[in-house]
Every structure is written in C-alpha cells, then in structure tokens.
Structure 1
Amino acid sequence: MGDSEKQCPDCAEFVKSEARICRFCNYEFSKSPLVETKNPPSIQETESSSTENGFTENPNVSAKPLLIGGLILAAFFLYASLAGGQDSGSTFAEDTATDIGAEADAIMAEMEAAAAGALGEDSTSETIGNWQYIVSQDEARGADIKTASITSENQVFLSPPYDGGTRARLVIRQHPSYGLDIFVEARPSQIVCRSYDGCSGLINIDGNPETLSLNTSADYNSEIVFFRFPRPLLSRIQGSERVIIELPFYSNGNRQFTFNTEGLEWPITENSS
C-alpha cells in the first residue's frame, strides 16, 4: 500500500487516501472530530469578571449613542474600502480565473503526457484534427499497441478535493493482449463504479442518447471506466460528429463531457500514424 492509499476497515480493500467512502462496500470513513466549542459565559459570570477587574456597569450611561457612532464609522470605512478596492477586486477575479485555467491546462498536459509518455524509441505520436494517435511497440509480444484519444471540449468543477477543473479523455485502444477497448479518463475525480457489478452512465451520439454500461479498470483506478461493449459503439463513434458522455461522480452526481469526434481514423494505418 502506498502513501496515496488506505485500507478499508470493513472490506480490507485499498482505496485512495482522499476517498471519503469505500467504492467496494460503501463504507464511510470517519470524518475529522469537530472542534469542541465552549458555551459563552453567562451574564452573571460576565458581571462577576467585570467586578473582579475593577470595572462595574454604570446604569446611568446609555449605550445607544456609542452604538450609533460605531455604526457610522463602520459604514464610512466599508465605503472607503469598497471604493479603493474595486480595481484590486477585479484583478483578484481575473487572477483566480487565470489560475483555474492554467491548472486545467496543466492537468490536460499531464494527461497527454501519460498517453504519449513512457513510450519507447519505436513509438510514434501524431495529432490529426481533434484526435491524437499513438502507436507503440509491445516488444514482448512483437505487436503494436494503437490508441486514438480525444479531449473533452468542456471541463466540470467538482467539490474538494477534486476542485480546480476536471476534463475527460476518450480513448480507443487496440492491444495485443486485451484486444479492443474504449475507456474514459477523468482527472482529477472519483467516478462511482463498483468493481463487482460495474456501473452505468449515458452516451449521446449525434443526438441519440442511450444507457452506457461501464466497468472499472483492472487496477481499480477511480479516474477511469471502460465501456463494456466497445465494438458496436466504435462503429457509431467513427462516423459521428459530436459525442456526450455522462458519468457518476462521488458527492457530485452526474456530470457530462462533450467531445468533437469528427474525423476519427480507425483502424490506425501507416498513413495516419
């Protein structure tokens, strides 16, 4: 078990350390204990403390003028703060949007590196239209591993710890050992899909929605789900222009990703790699 994983005390399976619910048995991990708060002191305790410190309340002094004066001063300083900080507020919003965009770009760069990275010297990568094609050599089996992948046009914003913008990547893979696969990778996220009975989503191909049967990955990666029946869907994706995929996410419900799938060339030939 690595530092990024923890063991479920109920089913003994390993899940990510940030997970708040076990995706194998739905066991909920205990939350951090609440910080104990003390009850406010009673009026008698306050009066006793004031008397001990040498201060006593004068019943002849009214608190209304002091209260009104304080409110006037507070309103004045609030107006000055808003007037002087208008530009800085706009700058903060722009900087925040820039940071989110930069983080999303960094995530997508990492996903593309993961798709094209760890490739040997005999591997090739080429982008044609919206699709990225990769051919790598499986030296042990003497055969090629071929993939075609595309990144979603939109990103969704999930609750912590998966905030910052999540994009999805639709991948078609032909592997000498596993055959044809189609899977979706959404990073960062936690897709709700149990290992023993899979899960379901929705796929809309050029305006025709239907239920999408899914399976988890062999290593139980909660950011990846595989199509159960890839071959009939591949023939329809191949001639499509627009595909929308809806997936279930932990504590965030169903979210949708849109792909511009026009121009897919499959199977990959020497001219398209």
Structure 2
Amino acid sequence: MPSRKKAEANSHSAPVATPAITPAQLLVDAKNAERTPAARLYSAEQLVSHHLGSAEEKEVGALLPELREMVRKESIGKQWRYSSSIDDMTSKTSNVAYVSSSNTHEFDFPYAGAQHASLTLRKHPRHGNDVIFSIERGQLQCRSYDGCRIMVRFGDAEPRTYKAVGPEDNSSETLFIEGYADFTSRMKAVDIVRIQANTFRQGAPSWEFDVSGFNPDKMK
C-alpha cells in the first residue's frame, strides 16, 4: 500500500480535464429562449468559431443575425446615466442625463493621456435647461463673457453652428451650449451626435456621442 504522501502526490499528478461543450449542446443553448440574448449569442458564436462545418454550425448560422439584433436592441439607451436631486433653495427637483463620448483624444503635456468628453443635459429649477459639453483635461477656448462658436452634427445631417459660453467660474474644461430645445429636438431624432470645439494648442477635435435610446421621461 502506498504511503499517504505518495498517494497525495499521485492525486495531483494529472489535472482533471473539463468536458468540452459539444456542438449539439451549444446549439441547444443558442436556441433556448429562456436564456438572455447575450448568452444565446455567445453560445452561437462559440459554435461558429470552434465547430466550423458541422451540421450544428450551419443550422445556427441563420439564427445569428436575429440574436445580434436582439442584443443590439437590448443595449440601446444603457449608455445614458440619469440622476436627480432636490435643490435646497427651491425644494424642487433638478434632473440630469449624462453620456460619455464613444471616442477619446490624447492631448499634449500637461494634459497627456487618453480622455473622453461628456455631454450632459440638465433641467434645473433655478438655472433653467442646459446642454453642457465638457472634457476631462485641457482648455476649451470659450470665455464666459463673450462666448464662442462650436460645430455640432446630428447623425448624417450637415453640421450646425451653436453659440456656447464658458462657466462663470472661468474653468476651462466645460462650456454651455445655447439652444436647449433645438439641440434636444434634433438629438432625439438621431443615434449619433458629434461636437467639435476649439481647444488651446490642441486644435478642434471632434467628439462622438452615442445618444440612442435617450429617455426624456426621466428628465421630467
């Protein structure tokens, strides 16, 4: 009889293989309507990737477009963040909707490092309705007293010029775009909004925002 130490060594000498998921099981998982669309799509793509040419792979091929569309629709609007707070001076509600840019830009020193921009919609009981564009680091060329012009493109339409002003504290990372009603009306009709604003020594980079699925009911 082997010693205890030897028996323990033998028990760890060979790893236990995890049974591979068969093409048949992947097909069942991809068709299972009780699973989430993302989980079903993952199984379908695993089947296509690892069992190319199998009967199951051919069968699931017709299902892939439908699953991808289901996942796309399920994700619409999830990029938006909503919040509300009570204004101490009026006891009324302030509502904010925020989305981060899909792309990034990297500025020169001292603002180095890839950064996103943000697009914020705000309804405030005292300050009114605002469209706010901001970057993480850098200097937007837009003063509070004389303002500036920025370019905004809604979907595939021609770019439009909007007037903007900097904040009262003269911070350089934020600007307020005038024309809330016009801006939001056009935004709700498209999926992509691009904003181009001049920055100090960094040119006029264009920032792209996925605005699909915006829910105006959360701003009431």
TM-score band, normalised by shorter chain = 0.5 to 0.7
Query: In the superposition, relative to structure 1, how do residues 142 and 187 fare at CA in structure 2: closer, same or farther (>3 Å)?
Result: same
Instruction: Supply the distance in 2 between the matched residues of 1:168 and 1:240 (Cα, whole angstroms).
Output: 19
Matches for 1:68-107 after TM superposition, within 5 Å: none
Which of 139, 143, 152 is the matching residue for 1:190?
A: 139
Instruction: Supply the distance in 2 between the matched residues of 1:197 and 1:210 (Cα, whole angstroms).
Output: 20
Instruction: Supply the distance in 2 between the matched residues of 1:221 and 1:266 (Cα, whole angstroms).
Output: 29
Which of 160, 172, 181 is the matching residue for 1:210?
A: 160
| TM superposition shift of 1:128 | 4.9
Structure 1 letter corresponding to 2:152:
I
Percent identity reads 26
SS at the partner of 2:185?
helix
Which of 197, 202, 208 is the matching residue for 1:252?
A: 202
Instruction: Supply the distance in 2 between the matched residues of 1:269 and 1:154 (Cα, whole angstroms).
Output: 26
Which of 100, 113, 116 is the matching residue for 1:151?
A: 100
Structure of greater Rg: 1
In the alignment, structure 2 segments of 5+ residues that lack a partner are 1-75
SS at the partner of 1:160?
coil
Q: How many residues align?
A: 144
In the alignment, structure 1 segments of 5+ residues that lack a partner are 1-126
Q: Summarize deviations over 1:192-244 as a string: whole Å, max 9, x none.
A: 11232111111000112111211111211110000122211111112220001
Matches for 1:131-142 after TM superposition, within 5 Å: 131-142=80-91
Which of 169, 185, 197 is the matching residue for 1:235?
A: 185
Instruction: Supply the distance in 2 between the matched residues of 1:241 and 1:137 (Cα, whole angstroms).
Output: 30
Instruction: Supply the distance in 2 between the matched residues of 1:157 and 1:251 (Cα, whole angstroms).
Output: 12
Instruction: Supply the distance in 2 between the matched residues of 1:261 and 1:195 (Cα, whole angstroms).
Output: 27
Alignment TM-score, normalising by the size of structure 1: 0.50
Pair 1:219-2:169 in alignment: yes
Runs of 4+ in 1 over 3 A off after TM superposition: none
SS at the partner of 1:264?
coil
Greater relative CO, 1 or 2 (CA 8 Å, sep 6+):
2
SS at the partner of 2:105?
coil
Query: In the superposition, relative to structure 1, how do residues 205 and 161 fare at CA in structure 2: closer, same or farther (>3 Å)?
Result: same
Q: Summarize deviations over 1:164-215 as a string: whole Å, max 9, x none.
A: 1121000000001011100101011110112321111110001121112111
Pair 1:163-2:112 in alignment: yes
Instruction: Supply the distance in 1 between the matched residues of 2:77 and 2:194 (Cα, whole angstroms).
Output: 21
Q: RMSD value over aligned CA atoms?
A: 1.7
Is 1:239–1:264's contact at 8 Å kept on the other side of the alignment? no
SS at the partner of 1:201?
strand
Query: In the superposition, relative to structure 1, how do residues 195 and 137 fare at CA in structure 2: closer, same or farther (>3 Å)?
Result: closer
Instruction: Supply the distance in 1 between the matched residues of 2:196 and 2:77 (Cα, whole angstroms).
Output: 25
SS at the partner of 2:204?
strand
Name the counterpart of 1:44. Answer: none
Name the counterpart of 1:262. Answer: 212
